[in-house]
Amino acid sequence: MKTLDSNKRKYPGKIMLCGEYTVLNGGSSLLVPSAGYSGEWSYQKLKDSRLLTLLDTIKSDNNLESTIDIKAFELEINQGLTFQSNIPIGFGMGSSGALSAAIFDQFGIPKPINHLETREFLISIENTFHGTSSGMDALVSYLDKSIQVINQQIEILEYTQIIPTSLYVYDSGTTRNTSAMVALYQNKINVAKNEKYLSHLQMLNHDLTSYFKLQKQDMIQNTMALISEIQFKIFSPMIVQSIVAKWEYGLNTDKYYMKLCGAGGGGFYLVWVNDDSVITQNYHKI
C-alpha cells in the first residue's frame, strides 16, 4: 500500500535575501521559501536510486534511528517512492534542505515542541548530505515560512510580507561549490584592508533584514545598491566571470543592483530591478 498517495504537500526551496557570509560572524540574515521551486513526494515504477543511496547512509548513522522511522521509509522506497523536485542542485536553493524537511515531515518519529527542537532534528538529517548543516534551509522548507536571524535568535515571519515585486533571482547558468566559497571568505576576513568593508557590510545586512521585514521599499533599494557596490569590490571571486560586466553595468546605470544570493560562485544571484526592460529569461520571480 502506498501510504503517501494522499499527501500533496510541496516542500519549497529557499532564498537567502541577505546576510551571506556576515552571518558566519554573528550578523543578521533573512531566508524565505521560494514559491517557484519546490519538491513533493510521488511514486514511480522503479525504485529511486538516489533515495536508496540516502537510505543506506541513514541506516549507517546510529544517531538517526530515533529520528526517522527507517522501516517505514524503506517500505515506501521499495514501492517506488520518489521525490520530484524542480529545485536546481548546486544553486544554493536548498534542494537537500527540502528533501530533509520532506523526510522528517513524513517519517520523523519525534514530535518537536518548538522550532529550535525541530531545527536540531532537521540538522541531523541534512548532515547526511553535507557533513555539517545549519538546518536553516530545511527549517524554512519544513515550516514554509520566512526566517529572520538576528544575534543568533530565530524569528518566524509570514512569507507574503517579505518579497517586494522588484526582486528577482538571476540564473548564472553554473553550479557552485559552497565550501570553496566559504574558504575564500575566511581568507578575506583575515586581510586588514577588508576589515572596514566587512564591518560596513555587516551593518548593511542588519539594516536590510529590518527593511525587508518592515517593507520599506525605498530603503531596500538604497541598501541593495550599497551592498552591491561593496560585494563587487571585495567579493569578486564569488561573482562568476560571465556576469561581472552585467553586475558593473547595473551599478553604473542604476537600472538594477545585483548581490550575492547565498555563497555566490555560481547558482542564483539576487537582483533589485528598477527598469523592467532589462528582464530576460534568466530572471525569475522568487
Quick one: pLDDT at residue 164?
Answer: 85
Q: At what angle do helices 49-59 and 115-130 cross, to 10 degrees?
A: 110
* Crossing angle between the packed helical segments 217-234 and 244-253, to the nearest 10 degrees: 130
For residues 250 and 228, the answer to whether their CB atoms sit within 8 Å is yes
pLDDT at 83: 96
Q: Compute the distance between CA of residue 259 and CA of residue 235 in angstroms, rounded to an integer.
A: 10
The predicted structure's pLDDT at residue 81: 96
How far is 278 from 255, CA to CA, in rounded Å?
A: 8
Residue 250's nearest CA partner among 195, 168, 186, 185 is 168
Q: What is the pLDDT of residue 108?
A: 94
Contact 255, 272 (CB under 8 A): no
Q: Write down the pLDDT at residue 239.
A: 93
Q: 161-285 maps to which CATH number? A: 3.30.70.890
Looking at the structure, give the CATH architecture of the domain made up of residues 11-160: 2-Layer Sandwich (3.30)
Consecutive 10-residue averages of pLDDT for the chain (286 residues): 67 92 81 91 94 93 90 96 93 91 94 88 86 83 91 77 86 84 76 80 92 92 96 91 96 97 89 95 88
Burial 78-94 (b: 16+ CB within 10 A, else e): eeebbbebebeeebbbb
Question: Which three-class secondary structure state does DSSP give residue 37?
Answer: strand
> In the prediction, which pLDDT does 111 show?
85
Q: Return residue ranges of the chain for CATH 3.30.230.10.
A: 11-160
Residues of the chain with CATH 3.30.70.890: 161-285
pLDDT of residue 6: 56
